[in-house]
Amino acid sequence: MTVAEAYYEVVRRALESNIRDGSLPGGTRLYVAALADRLGVSRSPVKRALDMLEADGLIRRDGAQGWLVGTEPANDSRPNLHLFQLDLPDSGSATLIKPGWERILQTVADEVTRCIPFGIWKISEAELCTHFSVSRTVTREVLTRMHERGLIAKNRASHWIAGPLSAQMLNEVHDLRRLMEPLALKRAAARLERAGLIEMRARIEAAIAQGGTPTPDELDAIEDDLHIDCVAPQPNQRLADALPELRLSMVVNRQFARHVARHQETALLSEHRLVLDHLIAGDADGAAAALAFHLDADHERTRERLKVLSIFGGPDDDVPPYLSQVV
């Protein structure tokens, strides 16, 4: 996975293309705050992007009145930038790009996941900010979401900690998860859209038809379908809060898929399909029972897979600078 492009660079590129194609015509007055609001991003990357565009000669500074596009005189003292039809990379969205946390979440999650079978790791918030050129706010959002996924936790000293994975920990979370997740699914069942369920089942059918060896990304999507999206509509907030950190087996499955040359997921796929079949038929109790069966079977697989992972001394790639091994 490539490191996410610096935030200001995305802003700069978007502005440059909109200036060059005339969407932001010569003489348009640009203020940092107004641009940040229009693009749905924070101010500092906008400021940095404007400095770069000025150095490139695409805009010029107009004293305390912000910047002006091109060399033309100002055509409006304070234009409403929301009236401009801009061509932005994430088409269909009102803002320039995904929120900062969303752009880097997967990268950070992947990098952390790659490390935890090999010990305990501390995550430095400051290094995370520097590494991705993002703000503390973005970093905290990323860490919160990773916490929700069960990837990281806070230790007694209030540091963010990832790993280690142990068979004992898998046993302990499995005990809880097999009680709670089927319950959540039962509560959610009536609120699930049939069309969405059929789509999920199609993804599984496709993976089975291709020999039961989905790519890591396909597997992630299939796991998220059942264990996150199907469960999400249940109304109990305490249940919702408890579930994410019980999904450790997803971490192992994901890591196994990335380390091991040939992995076979036919059993997992068939079990997922069985749960979805029950949901599509409107049988919430059957779905919950099928999910409990799947969780038990998956637990056995996960324990075996963790053992395979245990022979790897460390992640293949360089460890990112925001992670330091504690033990």
Partner 1 sequence: MALGSEKPRLRVITRGEFAVPQIRDQVQKDLGFAIEFLVLDSTQGLQQVVTQPESFDIYHQWHTSDLIWTARCIQGIDLNRLEAGPRIKAAALSRSGVGRAIHTIFDRLFVQEDGRLGEALTDTVAVLPALHGVDAFVWRPELAPALNPGEAESWGWLLDPRWAGHVGLIADPVLGTIEAALAAEVQLGKPFGDIGNLTIDEVDTIADFLIHKKKIGHFKGFWNSQEEAMRLMQRGSVTIQSLFSPAVSQLRATGMNLRVASPLEGCRGWHSDMCISAATEGDALDAAYAYLDWYHNGWAGACLSRQGYYFIFPEVVRPHLTPEEWDYWYEGQPAARPLPGPDGTVTIPEGHRREGGSYRERMSSVRVWNTFMDEHTHVNRRWREFLSA
β-sheet bridge partners, residue 153: 161
3-state DSSP of the chain: CCCCCCHHHHHHHHHHHHHHCCCCCCCCEECHHHHHHHHCCCHHHHHHHHHHHHHCCCEEECCCCCEEECCCCCCCCCCCHHHCCCCCCCCCCCCCCCCHHHHHHHHHHHHHHHHHHHCCEEECHHHHHHHHCCCHHHHHHHHHHHHHCCCEEECCCCCEEECCCCHHHHHHHHHHHHHHHHHHHHHHHCCCCHHHHHHHHHHHHHHHHCCCCCCHHHHHHHHHHHHHHCCCCCCCHHHHHHCHHHCHHHHHHHHHHHHCCCCCCHHHHHHHHHHHHHHHCCCHHHHHHHHHHHHHHHHHHHHHHHHHHCCCCCCCCCCCCCEEECC
Residues that bind partner 1 (CB under 8 A): 117-119, 164-168, 259-264, 266-267, 301, 303-313, 327
Nearest CB to partner 1, comparing residues 34 and 326: 326
Provide, rounded to whole angstroms, the least separation between the CB of residue 211 and partner 1.
12
- Residue 245 to residues 79, 152, 226, 270, 287, Cα–Cα distance (Å): 48, 8, 16, 24, 22
Nearest CB to partner 1, comparing residues 64 and 311: 311
Provide, rounded to whole angstroms, the least separation between the CB of residue 169 and partner 1.
9
Nearest CB to partner 1, comparing residues 140 and 301: 301
Provide, rounded to whole angstroms, the least separation between the CB of residue 310 and partner 1.
4
Nearest CB to partner 1, comparing residues 48 and 305: 305
Nearest CB to partner 1, comparing residues 83 and 311: 311
Provide, rounded to whole angstroms, the least separation between the CB of residue 184 and partner 1.
28
Nearest CB to partner 1, comparing residues 228 and 319: 319
Nearest CB to partner 1, comparing residues 31 and 118: 118
Provide, rounded to whole angstroms, the least separation between the CB of residue 213 and partner 1.
10
What are the φ and ψ backbone dihedral angles of 261, each rounded to 5 degrees? -60, -50
Provide, rounded to whole angstroms, the least separation between the CB of residue 104 and partner 1.
28
Provide, rounded to whole angstroms, the least separation between the CB of residue 265 and partner 1.
11
Nearest CB to partner 1, comparing residues 208 and 280: 208
Provide, rounded to whole angstroms, the least separation between the CB of residue 166 and partner 1.
6
